[in-house]
Structure 1
Amino acid sequence: METTDILIKIRKIVRSIDIESKKIQKEHGVSIPQVLCLNFLHNSPNYQATQGEIRRFLNLNPSTVSGIIDRLEKKGYLARLPKLGDKRVVNIALTSAGDKLLKTIPSLLHVQLSEKLKKLNEEEFIKVEEGLNTLIRILDIEAIEASPMITMETGLEDIEV
């Protein structure tokens, strides 16, 4: 196999993520991180979470998460609610409009990949993991932080140069 073949395979993965992101944005008016935020709230107790909980789940910096929440609030997909008993804490709550939107969005690529990885036998899974570890090592990118979600919407403020 030529090195070009490997680069093409990586490019196919990156391109499919980009295509999915653009399709969701065009058809539903939200980015993948926004969808992930809404999904997190949907799966949270009482459909609510703090901004810090959302930030830890998305593994993004506070200003990026704040922007995601602001945009979703403007669209009516979530609301900020003061926490009962402690007005200093604000809960972010999924609205019925946000829940309705989630029902129209197809299963995301990272969810599909996760489900398919779980179906691999142990030997196949180890091969995939070892191959990815090799790529990360030869690219010298071990120190780069990454979320378990596949997205192309990382803001420039999230990239350390």
Structure 2
Amino acid sequence: MNSTSDEIKDDYNFISEALIDIYDQIMRIEESEIRKSRFKDITAKELHLIHTIGLHDRKTTSEVSRVLKLSKGTLTANLNNLEKKGYIIRMINQQDRRIINLGLTSKGRLLYRAHYAFHRQLVESCLKGFDGSDIRKMRQALVNVEKFIDEVSSK
């Protein structure tokens, strides 16, 4: 093997290990910060559900279940918990009363903003020192990863 292929192999190994470590560390940080906050009653999964619902979109339950790849039953159970805890509200769609739209309460919006701020800091630290071209390459790399994950999860 030549040194270029050895370097590429080392880069692949580094990226693989880094992705695993970063995912693990983000989840640990989120869990730890939740436990230290006023939102002790929430899990990381519930936090990501709140993030998916978003601040202003009024997504439907079907949209949220599709994004998170959850069965309607699993989503309903999670939504029931979040509603009891005071983070979300369900609203009947005015155009089609069979459709349920989801929204965040003021408590849910506060949690959403805190979570969003953490992720904004992550992105800023990740892109520190990058120029526009580097950022577009990083964006394309993440699009590629998302496509791969979608392909694997749809099998």
Give the TM-score, by structure 1 length.
0.58
Comparing both structures, which one devotes a greater share of its residues to strand?
A: 1
Q: CA, structure 1 residues 84+126, in 2 after alignment: closer, same or farther (shift >3 Å)?
A: closer
Comparing both structures, which one devotes a greater share of its residues to helix?
A: 2
Specify every segment of 5 or more residues in structure 1 that has no aligned partner in the other structure, as ranges: 147-159
Tell me, what secondary structure is at the counterpart of 1:42?
coil
The number of residues matched between the two structures is 139
Instruction: Spell out the pairing of 1:88-127 with structure 2 (5 A cutoff).
Output: 88-105=98-115, 107-109=117-119, 111-115=120-124, 116-117=126-127, 119-123=130-134, 126=137
8 Å CA contact 2:89–2:105 kept in 1: the answer is: yes
Residue in 2 that maps onto 1:23: 32
Alignment RMSD (CA, Å) = 4.1
Higher Cα Rg: structure 1 or 2? Answer: 2
Shift of 1:108: 3.6
Q: CA, structure 1 residues 123+66, in 2 after alignment: closer, same or farther (shift >3 Å)?
A: same
2:90 is the alignment partner of 1:71: no
Residue in 1 that maps onto 2:50: 38
8 Å CA contact 1:33–1:68 kept in 2: the answer is: no
2:152 is the alignment partner of 1:144: yes
Give the TM-score, by structure 2 length.
0.59
